[in-house]
Amino acid sequence: MLHFDAVESTNETAKELLESDVEEGLVVWADRQAAGRGRHGRAWASPLGGLYASFILRPKEAHAWLLGLLIGMPVVKALRHFGVFAGLKYPNDAVYQDRKIAGILSEGVYRHDVYHVVVGIGVNTNVDLDKLPAEVQPKATTLKREVNLFVANEEFLDYLLNQVDDLYSRYRNTRIEFLLKDYRGQCTTIGKRVSAMIGKDRVIGKAYDIATNGALVIADDQGAKHEFFEGTLEILK
């Protein structure tokens, strides 16, 4: 594990390190990020106190997106272990009472013809909510805000990485369908009424299943099924 006071983005540092001969499992951890990145090109506010880490995996298949989906499970498990009963909003947001507490950005990268996945995890552990951008504050929460006990980032990361390790061993040794079944059981979006943008179309209906490719299956009010992967997904009340 490499620990930095500050980097631009732990995902970027991990990718730069791929130029040298780094081993699978290398973790880049920083106390803050100057240019933290979220999914869909969004910024990820990364003030001191939060947990920002990326690690390098070298799966046999180009499964960057699927691994990013599955790693939502260990993230939620770690949050629950430390006292926040978070849910897993499709695809991989850890959410507590409709407020986001952790996010995952996984990226597939070829270096010297070898496929790597850089998985970046950001957890609002010991962040004061008012250190996050004003527009994020109403939709975010932090471990510090929800739990009375102080949890050191090191301790959280240690537990989280053990859980990721378990998941990754299962990923290498089990059929992906089994892992997706587990994911389905943990994804709190299943069974909810949702509104999703699929291409240019808005689909409103019930989140119904996880397909074998990891897509969220939404059954609209006419009973037609639609697969959703990425984009805007809103949970309706």
Residues that bind ligand BTN (CB under 6 A): 9-11, 33, 36-39, 42, 44, 52-54, 93, 103-105, 120-122
Question: CB of residue 148 vs ligand BTN: minimum separation in angstroms?
Answer: 25
DSSP string computed for the chain: -EEEEEES-HHHHHHHHTTS-PPTT-EEEEEEESS-B-GGG-B----TTSEEEEEEE--SS--HHHHHHHTHHHHHHHHHHTT---EEETTTEEEETTEEEEEEEEEEEEETTEEEEEEEEEE-SS--GGGS-TTTGGGB--HHHH-SS---HHHHHHHHHHHHHHHHHHHHHS-HHHHHHHHHHHBTTTTSEEEEEETTEEEEEEEEEE-TTSPEEEEETTS-EEEE-SS-EEE--
Nearer to ligand BTN, 38 or 49 (CB): 38
Question: CB of residue 53 vs ligand BTN: minimum separation in angstroms?
Answer: 6
Nearer to ligand BTN, 136 or 147 (CB): 136
Nearer to ligand BTN, 87 or 120 (CB): 120
Question: CB of residue 92 vs ligand BTN: minimum separation in angstroms?
Answer: 7
Question: CB of residue 125 vs ligand BTN: minimum separation in angstroms?
Answer: 12
Nearer to ligand BTN, 38 or 59 (CB): 38
Residue nearest to ligand BTN (CB): 103
